């Protein structure tokens, strides 16, 4: 079948409540990440390469809750979650509760390429990363003052323990209708040691299948896990829903069934995109061949 698909990359910088004064800059960071992802897609020709590149950019940006600037667990440590999946052969790689490495998504990508297992946790993830040539990061180089202050506020009872917002993710579709998704996060502020959220769990925070599409979630991880939210949204696509309608319906279910909040970005295998949130904000960026990149919140 001959197809004419316009390659596209859509990213999010997390659902939450970014203060008014910072919203434009959060969205602009997403726009730049989407542009970087699309550039990689056009160089390397693959949706997988595109989502990894877009998430790297957001992990390196301390404004978001992933990589540098990610939130801290109850002991003040970084314990990082990331996953990447491609929709053609359903190959996937993920790490969870991993000690600091600069770009967790690159370690997840190495897990995918290695192919023996799909998900590595904690010290096992760190060992895998070191075996593949990744250098552990000095925690001081990745922990920001803002992350320390957020943890202090939680531990002193000035803020609710919980979901941090600012998880990052990307979805992409290439000219052949191959899709991919990637997600990276520090999880929740003050989380218990060993807590793993939705982001690295396939079908919860991250999913891709060329038969339907790809999705990355952000929001209350425990609820997103219980609803297998990205798999659910892909099933809605497979049933004929548009990406926007599928994203809206899945987020409505997150709210109505579990009283939880979050957001989704979605692409289908024809390159149509959609997103939805039931939070105050979810910064996003979109880059598509032949049109100016855009962003919003």
Closest distance to ligand GLY from the beta carbon of 33 (Å):
18
Q: What is the DSSP string of 171-199?
A: EEE-TTS-EEEEEEE--EETBPTT---ST
End-to-end CA distance of the chain: 37
Closest distance to ligand GLY from the beta carbon of 218 (Å):
5
The two structure tokens encoding residue 279 = 């939070």
Instruction: Pick the catalytic residue from 68, 88, 167, 183.
Output: 167
Closest distance to ligand GLY from the beta carbon of 145 (Å):
22
Contacts of 37 (CB under 8 A, 6+ apart): 9, 11, 50, 51, 53, 54, 57, 170, 172, 287
Q: Which is nearer to ligand GLY, 185 or 279 (CB)?
A: 185
Q: How large is the angle between the packed helices 243-258 and 229-238, nearest 10 degrees?
A: 140
Q: Which is nearer to ligand GLY, 51 or 173 (CB)?
A: 51
Q: Which is nearer to ligand GLY, 93 or 205 (CB)?
A: 205
Q: Which is nearer to ligand GLY, 55 or 188 (CB)?
A: 188
Closest distance to ligand GLY from the beta carbon of 199 (Å):
5
Q: Which is nearer to ligand GLY, 14 or 177 (CB)?
A: 14
Tell me whether residue 185 is one of the annotated catalytic residues: no
Residues that bind ligand GLY (CB under 6 A): 163, 167, 185, 187-188, 197-199, 218-219, 221
Question: Do residues 187 and 243 touch, judged by C-beta distance below 8 A?
Answer: no
In terms of DSSP bridges, do strands 119-121 and 92-98 run parallel, antiparallel, or are they unpaired?
Answer: parallel
**Helix segments in the chain, DSSP class H:** 20-44, 47-59, 104-114, 122-131, 139-142, 145-155, 221-227, 229-238, 243-258
Q: How far is CA 114 from CA 62, 108, 131, 296, in A?
A: 29, 10, 11, 36
Closest distance to ligand GLY from the beta carbon of 161 (Å):
12
Active site residues: 167
């Amino acid at each position: 079948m001959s197809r004419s698909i316009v390659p596209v990359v859509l990213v999010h910088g997390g659902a939450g409540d970014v203060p008014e004064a910072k919203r434009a800059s959060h969205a602009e960071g997403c726009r730049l990440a989407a542009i970087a992802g699309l550039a990689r897609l056009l160089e390397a020709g693959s949706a997988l390469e595109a989502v990894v590149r877009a998430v790297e950019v957001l992990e390196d940006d301390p404004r978001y809750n992933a990589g540098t600037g990610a939130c801290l667990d109850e002991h003040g440590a970084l314990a990082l979650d990331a996953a990447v999946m491609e929709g053609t052969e359903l190959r996937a790689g993920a790490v969870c509760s991993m000690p600091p490495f600069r770009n967790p998504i690159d370690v997840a990508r190495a897990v995918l390429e290695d192919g023996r297992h799909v998900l590595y946790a904690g010290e096992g993830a760190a060992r895998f990363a070191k075996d593949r040539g990744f250098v552990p990061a000095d925690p001081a180089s990745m922990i920001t003052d803002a992350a320390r202050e957020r943890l202090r506020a939680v531990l002193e009872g000035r803020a609710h323990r919980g979901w941090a917002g600012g998880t990052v993710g990307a979805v992409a579709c290439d000219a052949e209708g191959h899709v991919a998704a990637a997600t990276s996060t520090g999880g929740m502020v003050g989380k218990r040691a060993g807590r793993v959220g939705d982001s690295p769990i396939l079908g919860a925070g991250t999913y891709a299948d060329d038969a339907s599409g790809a999705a990355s979630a952000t929001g209350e991880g425990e609820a997103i896990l219980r609803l297998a939210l990205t798999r659910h949204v892909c099933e809605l696509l497979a049933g004929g829903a548009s990406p926007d309608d599928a994203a809206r319906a899945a987020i409505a279910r997150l709210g109505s069934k579990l009283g939880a909040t979050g957001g989704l970005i979605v692409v289908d295998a024809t390159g149509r995109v959609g997103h939805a949130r039931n939070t105050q904000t979810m910064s996003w960026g979109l880059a598509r061949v032949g049109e100016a990149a855009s962003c919003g919140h």
